[in-house]
A and B are shown apart, each in its own frame.
Chain A
Amino acid sequence: MSFFVQGVGAVTPLAATAEQTWDELLRGTEAMRQPLPKGFGDRSYYYSAVPPKFTATAGRQPRLRRSGEISLLGVTAGLAALADAGISSDEASQGAVVFAIACGGVVYTRRFYHEVITEGANVASPLLFPETVYNAPASHLAALLKINGRDYTLVGDSSVGLSALHFASQLLALDPALPFCVVVGVEEADWVLADGFAAWRMASNRTWFPVFGAKQGTILAESAASVVLSRSGSLRLLSTSAGLPFFSQREAPDVLAKVVAEACDKQKPAGILCSANGTFADRAEETVFRSALGTVPVYAHKPAIGDSLGASALLQLVLAKFALTQQKLPPTLHTGDRLQTVTREVTEIRGNEILITSVGFNQQVNAALVASA
């Protein structure tokens, strides 16, 4: 049973659409970095924000008038993917929604809890709390689409997007009458989230970070990416999985190697869209790419956009569609010298398959292989 990407959508700090984001990446554009609103102590972090005008249409929906940024981003990307797939609003109600989220509505969560402990539980806002729940963004999109059936939210680390893709393919396999799943990965950013990454020594305090070089940590970004998964389309899923865990960072390369071997099944892809983000993830990926996929060109989008956690793996899938269509990969920004096959300029690829890899920040790895249909 084969499943296909019928449509894609994205909203990123670089652009309001998936296609424009791809064009900016090809041009080597780096998203603007701005300081996260100040938190505590003297620590400061940068992030890449999505300009409010990119999500303004979603924000005009009555259902979303009190919702957080994460819902606006998720709905924007989901609706864009449905439009790209040519699915009308009448048809949309027949589908399913699957969201992938790593940290969820951290801005409202932080605001609500701050009220609880600084002003007292008796004055905490009942308007904020419901939007802190992981499945709030998915429920908003399901409501706008009038879906009364399957609506799931999967949580995990930055590899969760590929897990959600696999989950959606399971839903399609389980029910031949289900026409499509709209799969959305989404994340927002907050100073506390960046400080959490800093506690793991995984946050950069500069305005840029290198990949496949010195481990400097990553920079967070807001983003959402979405695909409509169905039984026909321009991009075929050759392999997906629910991923595998690693129990220490030392194990990550071996586990990734296993997942990649299963995904590729002895095929050599034309290109790799990887998850390198300036942390231990780079080491795991470069080890596997060097040993198993020697000459295959590798592209990392995170130095340009930032690490959008739960959105990032699905964003890689969205970019894979353009890479295969145009047979090229963008230049990877701020590249170190540890991996020679990483793209340093726009790089032509020859072939029909792209490997997507994701080494999550919290013990999960995953991979998927896709091809032009």
Chain B
Amino acid sequence: MSPNSKVQRVLITGFGIVSPLGGDNAENLNSLRNGVDCVSPVTAFDVSKTRCRTAGQVPNEWLKEPMTRKNQRLDRSSLMMLQATREAIRTAGHVVPQLMVISTSSGGMFNGERFYRSLIESRPRAGAARAVANYMAQKPVLDVQEKFGWRIPSQIISNACASGTNAVGHAFQLVRAGLYESVICGGYDPLSELVFTGFDSLQAATPEKIRPFDRDRDGLVLGEGAAVLVLESEHAAAVRQASALAEIVGYGISTDNYHLTQPDPSGIGPKLAMERALADAGLDPTSIDYVNAHGTATVFNDATEGIAISELMPGVPISSTKSMMGHALGGAGAIEAVFSLLAIMHQFLPPNINFRQPEPNWSFRVVGNREESAKVRRVASNSFGFGGANATLILQAA
């Protein structure tokens, strides 16, 4: 395994997304630009005993796979991944990927829940084998490959809420080094009762509106979705005359060893990830036109990310698109990479909705409530997670 001595440009030639903002790329763009609040009361499971009772949800009717007998066996994770991949291939044209690098945090947890409930309630074993198969985190990736007629290696990264950015970032590095010409990358996470209750038990989830970077923020809401990007070397894209939608130019990863769930209050974790991404891209912080922040709206997470951005990129406009759809965990980094791509393609800054008042000591500017037209050439997209996992991607206009 030897990287090419000549560094390859890494082009994004296709993308697909399913999120609470929409079932396809066009719907996501429309909701993103219009600052649509896509958080709604949870319907998938009982939330009568949790503080938080809302989430960003993908309605089942948006998952449009034809209901063949085999498709009826696919779970929501697979359906979301299939739909996102179909959009990505539609935008990329005929691409033959060599590798899939996909992220998830909770995998098929809701299948595990279904299996466990069937045990507790002494229900018949029918369906148990399918629930267990779909519990496995790689199953949606294998379902995608089977549907598209691919048989290629896959790597499933699970670095909590940073996973999506890690997956795209690792794929980027592989293509840039010439180890692969064409990689499908992205991530998914469906809503599940266990994870929803887990964040509620930590009192990290809010019963109110999610207000990232607001002075009065008091917690996150969860979301779900899937997003997929097609990354190709400049050479591979040229061979098949594919258009570049944008390119990825930098990736940084850091680990904050402070605590399993709490970030180091100094902001060193996010700052290191951003510094490393900028160094990887050979860019100065002032060259970043917009930061798609991790912005979960918890008191501590936004505080540490706020310190890091203030120190590194004073004055930069930022927003957290989680304000519109909640936090899709292992899928979030991939979803937000797509939102960052859309900001570059359509030259706008996505809004940070439900925003009222900034913290006085932060030096960046929150893009509050409405989209802004802007010259957007370079975007930094942040993702941070449990275990001190931090990652930043830098996207650039092609």
Contacts and interface: CB of A to CB of B under 8 A. Distances in A.
A116 B119 CA distance: 15
Interface string A93-114: 0000000011000000110111
A199 B128 contact: yes
B272 interface: yes
Interface size class of A (residues with CB under 8 A): 35 or more
Interface stretch (B199-207, B226-234, B355-363): B199-207
Interface in A114-167: 114, 116-118, 120-122, 124-126, 129-136, 138-140, 142-143, 146-157, 163, 167
Contacts of B151: 244-245, 255
Contacts of B253: 149-151
Interface string B97-116: 00100001101000011011
Interface in B96-154: 99, 104-105, 107, 112-113, 115-117, 119-120, 122, 125, 128-129, 131-133, 135-139, 142, 145-146, 151-154
Interface stretch (A22-30, A44-52, A169-177, A337-345): A169-177
A153 B158 contact: yes
A122 B50 contact: yes
A133 B202 contact: no
B201 A163 contact: no
Interface size class of B (residues with CB under 8 A): 35 or more
B321 interface: no
A192 B115 CA distance: 9
A54 B102 CA distance: 35
Contact of B256 (A122, A148, A362, A364): A148
Given A129-B202, A157-B138, A242 B386 contact: no
Contact of A130 (B1, B193, B261): B261
Contact of B156 (A41, A156, A200): A156
A167 B107 CA distance: 20
A331 interface: no
A125 B202 CA distance: 8
Interface string B271-313: 0100000000000000000000000000000000000000000
A328 B350 CA distance: 63
B301 to A, nearest CB: 14
A142 B153 contact: no
A154 B156 contact: yes
B128 A362 contact: no
Contacts of B261: 130
Interface in A179-229: 192, 195-197, 199-200
B155 interface: yes
A242 B154 contact: yes
Contacts of B137: 134, 155-156
B374 interface: no
Contact of B142 (A114, A173, A199, A363): A363
B317 interface: no
Given A109-B194, A151-B388, A362-B139, 4 more contacts: A110-B116, A124-B197, A139-B257, A199-B129
30 contacts: A3-B1, A40-B122, A109-B112, A109-B194, A114-B120, A117-B117, A121-B49, A122-B49, A130-B202, A130-B386, A133-B105, A135-B159, A135-B385, A142-B255, A143-B388, A148-B256, A150-B253, A151-B389, A154-B158, A155-B137, A156-B138, A173-B179, A174-B179, A195-B119, A196-B135, A199-B128, A200-B132, A245-B151, A362-B139, A363-B138
Interface of A: 1, 3, 39-41, 101-102, 109-110, 112-114, 116-118, 120-122, 124-126, 129-136, 138-140, 142-143, 146-157, 163, 167, 169-170, 173-174, 192, 195-197, 199-200, 241-245, 247, 255, 362-364
Which 7 interchain pairs have the tightest Cβ spacing? A139-B387, A242-B153, A129-B198, A143-B257, A199-B128, A134-B158, A196-B132
